């Protein structure tokens, strides 16, 4: 069984007696576990299993805890990297070039740099790390909401108590990283989620899957050139009711004018959209005359 070690050392007046309040330590330890799980999910997206992160020992010092990481799953993960699922693994053809703790350490540093206004590009990360696959992974981690949340968790003791610094060590003397109170405050100010962008658009759409029954309970499947096929919640009560009564000829392939409310969020470089139909009418129809036309 392979074991990696990851050391976290907190320093400051609150830990001078080599003890630490469990209400502060507990959430921080959980955050260290989440950092490793988030990094592993980025390394092997297709594997639902996660590494085990445990407290191995507590050493004398200000307050130093050594975490052990059970990487037995990593060996199994290597067999998952066939030609068919290399793309799923994000282009990482092998895991032997770097370890999970390399990814976590690189990710923490990248998040810290981003928080203080020194975010690095993937090319800059490659120059720093010397491994293109690791650079890709760290580049993703610095924007990954769960990883950012984990960084907030491990630095929270620096904000909530008289703890001045955190030193993390996952790669030996040269790989040590020190974080101070200013770093912790900057990391806390990072958004660990993507703020949605909301807008309204007028589009011509085609009916893909009509819903004659339960017109307001089920999402409508529509098509347009801009967004392709998509599903949208129907908020135009008058139109939905007219379809239900049979007052509007509504079948696959027919075109309608719609006013869409579109909500976009960005995650891991991809854009996710949700759609709502604010108003729907037949092409060439004046919105204000919709009911009169329906009743004619």
For residue 74 the two structure tokens come to 């990593």
Residue 40's pLDDT band (cuts 50, 70, 90): confident
Structure-model confidence comparison of residues 65 and 269, the more confident one: 65
Residue 49's pLDDT band (boundaries 50, 70, 90)?
Answer: low
Q: Are 167 and 65 in contact (CB under 8 A)?
A: no
pLDDT at 208 over 90: no
Place 138 in a pLDDT band, splitting at 50, 70 and 90. Answer: very high
267-288: average pLDDT? 75
What is the model's pLDDT at position 7? 85
Q: Which of 111-120, 151-160, 259-268 has the lowest mean pLDDT?
A: 259-268
Q: Is the pLDDT of residue 95 over 90?
A: no
Burial of 10: CB neighbours in 10 Å, binned 0-12, 13-18, 19+ = buried
Please count the residues of the chain: 296
Res 257 pLDDT > 90: yes
Q: What is the mean pLDDT of residues 120-144?
A: 91
Mean pLDDT of the chain: 78
Mean pLDDT of 192-199: 72
State yes or no: pLDDT of 247 exceeds 60: yes
Give the DSSP per-residue string, the chain: --EEEEEEEEESGGGTTS---HHHHHHHHHHHHHHHHHHHHHH-TT-----EEEEEEEETTTTEEEEEEE-HHHHHHHTT--TTTTTTTTT---STTS-HHHHHHHHHHHHHHHHTT-PPPHHHHHHHHS-HHHHHHHHHHTT-HHHHHHHHHHHHHHHHSS--EEEEESSSGGG-EEEEHHHHHHHHTS-SSPPPEEEEEEEEEEEEE---SSTTTSPEEEEETTTEEEEEEE--HHHHHHHHHT-S---TT-EEEEEEEEEEEEETTEEEEEEEEEEEEETT--GGGHHHHHH-
Task: List the Cα angle 37/35/135 in 5-degree steps.
Answer: 95
The reported pLDDT for the residue numbered 41 is: 82
10 Å CB burial of residue 246 (0-12, 13-18, 19+) is: exposed
If one compares 88 and 72, the residue with the highest pLDDT of the two is: 72
User: Which one has a higher pLDDT value, 175 or 264?
Assistant: 264
Which pLDDT score is estimated for 155?
A: 94
Q: Spell out the domains of the chain, with CATH numbers in brackets.
A: 3-188 (no CATH), 197-295 (2.40.50)
Which of 54-63, 163-172, 176-185, 237-246 is the least confident region?
54-63
Residue 175 or residue 272, greater confidence:
272
Q: Is the pLDDT of residue 240 over 80?
A: yes
pLDDT for residue 81: 38
């Amino acid at each position: 069984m392979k074991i990696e070690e990851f050391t976290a050392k907190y320093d400051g007046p609150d830990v001078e007696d080599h003890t630490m309040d469990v209400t502060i330590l507990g959430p921080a330890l959980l955050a260290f576990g989440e950092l490793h799980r988030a990094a592993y999910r980025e390394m092997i997206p297709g594997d639902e299993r996660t590494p085990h992160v445990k407290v191995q020992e507590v050493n004398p010092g200000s307050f130093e805890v050594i975490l052990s990481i059970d990487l037995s799953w990593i060996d199994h993960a290597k067999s998952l990297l066939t030609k068919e699922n290399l793309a799923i693994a994000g282009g990482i053809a092998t895991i032997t070039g770097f370890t999970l703790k390399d990814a976590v350490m690189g990710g923490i540093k990248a998040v810290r740099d981003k928080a203080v206004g020194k975010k690095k590009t993937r090319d800059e990360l490659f120059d720093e790390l010397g491994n293109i696959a690791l650079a890709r992974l760290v580049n993703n981690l610095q924007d990954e909401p769960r990883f950012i949340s984990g960084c907030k968790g491990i630095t929270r003791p620096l904000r909530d108590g008289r703890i001045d610094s955190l030193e993390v060590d996952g790669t030996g003397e040269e790989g040590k990283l020190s974080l101070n109170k200013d770093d912790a405050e900057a990391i806390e100010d990072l958004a660990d989620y993507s703020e949605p962008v909301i807008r309204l658009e007028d589009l011509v759409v085609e009916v893909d899957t009509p819903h004659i029954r339960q017109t307001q309970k089920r999402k409508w499947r529509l098509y347009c050139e801009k967004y392709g096929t998509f599903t949208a919640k129907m908020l135009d009560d008058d139109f939905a009711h007219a379809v239900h009564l049979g007052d509007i000829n509504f079948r696959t392939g027919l075109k309608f004018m719609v006013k869409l409310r579109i909500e976009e969020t960005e995650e891991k470089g991809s854009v996710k959209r949700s759609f709502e139909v604010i108003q729907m009418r037949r092409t060439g129809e004046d919105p204000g005359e919709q009911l009169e036309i329906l009743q004619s």
